[in-house]
Structure 1
Amino acid sequence: MSLENEVMSYFDELDSLKEMSIDANKAFLDLLVFGVLADGETTEDELAQLDEELLRLPFIWDEDARNEVTDHSAKTRELLEGNLDDHGVIEGFLESLARRVETQELRMIGLRMFVAITVSDGFTETERQFCHAIGAAFDFDPSEVDSVIAQIAETI
């Protein structure tokens, strides 16, 4: 998995991400954490890389923001680890994401980031289902999700 090469570049390239609310920023953090955990086979190296990359995000401007990101990431991990097969937990998590990421432009960016994370270290059927669940929560047609998966899989 290469978060820096495959995923974090989304944050560098898009001005709209820099203008997001704190809640929307946290939703993107949640998507990154979810993407790393989605295959259910997360290594310590992957978690260490995630922590390192989260602290490089463009909205980390001071020590308070750094601490908030670290705390939020830990809470998201705690929620999702061991609960990836709990439909109720995942559904609630995705509903929360959809409330916090309000525009279709940002939702597409979030979906693309999630797909890039999950495809970067192999792609399981469970990860494909999670991609479609995110797509549904973000009001994307399944064919749009399949198109995003195909585009990203082709480039990684």
Structure 2
Amino acid sequence: MAVSTEIQAPRSGRIAPEYKRHGRSKGNFEMFAWLFMRLSGVVLVVLIFGHLFVNLMVGEGVHAIDFGFVGGKWADPFWQVWDLAMLWLAMLHGTNGVRTIINDYAEKDGTRMTLKTVLYLASAVVIVLGTLVIFTFDPCPAGAAADLLPSFCRA
């Protein structure tokens, strides 16, 4: 009696033949997606720790964060670009990670396509709305009552 030493691939016997993926090539997309994850992760660490340091450690720390603090930060183009880069990279990084999970675990092509469509739409909505908020935010709206405006606004 011979003992088999061959280990089958994970889930190899579980997927029905009609659900197996086709062997079509995706070119270099997966390599670039892998590389993007590594590079964006490093940049995100810098952006996030910079964001946390400025918001929590500088000045009065967490006690200073209010509408006026955010309004003052977003009045400076440097912080607009900083927060925009953090938003875009975080959303694209997270979307790429979830896309990979969907590709790994969704067995049916239709399920995979539906999940990725919902993922891409949700990511696009968050990116567009976040970008609009960052660049159209006005902490000093015209016609507002002076007692409701932050201290840096001219009444």
In the superposition, the TM-score normalised over structure 2's length comes to 0.29
Relative to total residues, which structure has the larger helix share, 1 or 2?
Answer: 1
Q: Which has the larger radius of gyration?
A: 2
Query: Relative CO higher for 1 or 2, CA cutoff 8 Å, sep ≥ 6?
Result: 1
**TM-score normalised to the size of structure 1?**
0.29
